[in-house]
Structure 1
């Protein structure tokens, strides 16, 4: 077995014994003779098979076992008055099988909740933009999940998690187990989330064919490559960021891996495609282009909040009591983000703006993703409230100083606040501050920006000069619903009410 597989076995041993309520010593051990094995465990765990016979049934990796696969475990046994360490191969107990099924069930339920976030993103984006583009936005959120699913299935999953001797194209080895399907589904909805983040930053002027093209590349290549750098060892990969500086880059639920990657790709796209017609005056002053349905955006925000209870607690991929802690920290950060944003915008413009408040609680939950499993309630509050304030002034800076048109604020919510949350781990997610941890987080943040923004620029420029990235001026003024899809979202209302 190579080093990577040994590491995975250690992980599985710890996981299974933790479910039993205790840890067995891990270290070099001899293969156990059958009599030692039978004396250490109930006989039914061996099904009248020798250790050599059971060894033939071991999966290639612990990540590919199912509830009928044997496991490898190390025990200490007194032999002739001397304590020796042995490796025992055995089958799961009934309790361990129940734990396994619970892990599969919870991971699937969490994936279902993350999938519902597609509806939330669609509603937020549609609400913050004009009625004449509502169908286009809904279609993009439909298709980035459809296309993202197949792209991640065919290529992305392999790039993100495969070891040197494994094939994960079109599910590959994971299709042999119940756990493989659950794990793939959870990772798939994360990939689709990254793609749909980009949609908001380029809304109201992107060609539908161009959108389809970049969704494929994001889910098949850009997101999985960086995901493999940070999370590859969750299956059989081995990302370089996981061991950087000897402490490793830490991102539990994806403040950088999912959110910042999506935000930085959106930044590249917004720069290449340019602002909407009329967004900036000749002197560069930004003009307001109000969204057509802010209640719609608020409801979408609440759907995203609900989905985050799958996004963060589901990242455990285990059915255990830590789910409640992670859910509570998520909720605290989201609420604090909303409070931080409303205070900031109220003081800045004299009014409690609803759009900024929605972005504030979303920013809080983006920021908490990295440290959500280890942070204290106070830490979650600070991370969230800082994110809420940060998102307000980031939106203003990007629009007024950088002259970038981001209709829904996704660059600020996901890119900027994702980076803040990742950095915050070094201050609020560890028992004692360490410069190594801080620099490891900075390296991960920097690598994420360079990779996502750089590949995004190449991608969008390639689309621009081949199939085309932006609709014509006439189509943009009439609305993408008519020009791209041949129909309007609100047919019962006069056209002048549809295109503010």
Structure 2
């Protein structure tokens, strides 16, 4: 019976890993639909290559940094049939690695949308190595791996450990604030602003592709959140319900505030899901609905502020979506997770506030260091001629519709 239960857990976590892996196609098509036609191929290639690089560096370095487990042992040990006791039976540890790899690979996938249309390809690959191999897993280990006793400090000094069930801060906040640093170092796209600083609108290339990206992310997100439990015994329908309510809250608030804009509506769903990750296992569904609604509003107001006032040319708005909505989600878990507001408790506002701010500060500083070093050494931006030509032809030597190009 124990073997059957373990096998069921392997299948459960594997399904979660597959669902979150599928989310990466959502990242890709959300970017494809937002960028101009001349940069669509680059969007697709970046997401896939970043996933491959992330898997390799997380296997060799990142997982060991976060959880202290190395894969440099025999296949028998890896499968759980060995005598070390480090690896769980039937390869359960291995599918957990797969699942957590999809989380780690979300970091460059998030960043990709912010730096779109003017980032060199090779430096972004180098950045992925540094981010997924070292920067992200170090913070992951602090918050999820119990490293260096930080969670013990939160509990003793602030009343409870920092709670981030599915990564509002650890994944989304970190990715979004690294992206902000990268976007600031890159600068705005050619033609995005006039000489006197007035914004020039660049419309999305395909609303249907953008919408498909959002749908793929929304569907996969239920694997992202629910299957973070990592066992059938720990699974909770409350996580699914809270994810659903936060998603629809984000949709409805962005519908009203965004005045029917399809880009805001489809990103509003994602804003709600980003925000609910941290407290999805402890909040009441009504609280999750409110958290998602606020997240939808945060995304729209922050997107307009960044693009039009601050002149931050974040193409997909990944800093407002993942960075700020992730920050809101981390803090909101300390509010709506409390028993006073119908939550399950076990959290404090102080620990959530401090932990969330710590995460975004770490991510922004780390991102600025990684992309700053690359900018000073290899350079990170396409030449003006290549940027005007588009990353598809400049980098990949092919457009999104090569047969149409031949016929011209």
Q: Same fold (TM over 0.5)?
A: yes
Q: Quote the offset at 1:435 in angstroms.
A: 12
Q: Which residue of 2 aligns with 1:262?
A: 175
Q: Which residue of 2 aligns with 1:363?
A: 271
1:238-285 alpha-carbon deviations (Å, 9 max, x no partner): 551454142111000000000000000000000001010011111211
1:190-212 alpha-carbon deviations (Å, 9 max, x no partner): 00012210100100000000110
Contact 1:230 / 1:239 at 8 angstroms: preserved in 2?
A: no
Q: Quote the offset at 1:469 in angstroms.
A: 0.4
1:213 aligned to which of 126, 129, 134? 126
Q: Which residue of 1 aligns with 2:110?
A: 197
Q: Quote the offset at 1:309 in angstroms.
A: 1.1
Q: Which runs of 4+ in 1 moved over 6 A?
A: 433-436
Find out whether 1:168 has 2:70 as its counterpart. yes
Identify which of structures 1 and 2 has the higher relative contact order when contacts are C-alpha pairs closer than 8 Å and 6+ apart.
2
Find out whether 1:489 has 2:400 as its counterpart. yes
Q: Quote the offset at 1:455 in angstroms.
A: 1.0
Instruction: Provide closer, same or farther for how the CA distance between residues 423 and 171 of structure 1 changes in structure 2, counting only shifts above 3 A.
Output: farther
- Cα distance in 1 for partners of 2:374, 2:365 equals 14
**How many residue pairs are counted as aligned between the two chains?**
391
Q: Which residue of 2 aligns with 1:8?
A: none
1:141 aligned to which of 23, 29, 47? 47
1:449 aligned to which of 351, 356, 360? 360
Instruction: Provide closer, same or farther for how the CA distance between residues 407 and 239 of structure 1 changes in structure 2, counting only shifts above 3 A.
Output: farther
Write out aligned runs for 1:234-273 (5 A): 237=147, 239-241=149-151, 243-246=153-156, 247-273=160-186
Which has the larger share of helix? 2
Stretches of structure 1 lacking an aligned partner (at least 5 in a row): 1-93, 347-351
Q: Which residue of 1 aligns with 2:230?
A: 317
Secondary structure in 2 matching 1:232: coil
Write out aligned runs for 1:436-475 (5 A): 437-475=348-386
Q: Quote the offset at 1:99 in angstroms.
A: 2.3
TM-score by length of 1: 0.75
RMSD: 2.1
- Cα distance in 1 for partners of 2:377, 2:31 equals 27
Stretches of structure 2 lacking an aligned partner (at least 5 in a row): 81-87
TM-score by length of 2: 0.92
Instruction: Provide closer, same or farther for how the CA distance between residues 112 and 240 of structure 1 changes in structure 2, counting only shifts above 3 A.
Output: same
Write out aligned runs for 1:20-419 (5 A): 94=1, 96-162=2-68, 167-168=69-70, 176=80, 177=88, 178-233=91-146, 237=147, 239-241=149-151, 243-246=153-156, 247-320=160-233, 322-346=235-259, 352-419=260-327
- Cα distance in 2 for partners of 1:313, 1:103 equals 13
- Cα distance in 1 for partners of 2:39, 2:50 equals 17
- Cα distance in 1 for partners of 2:359, 2:154 equals 14
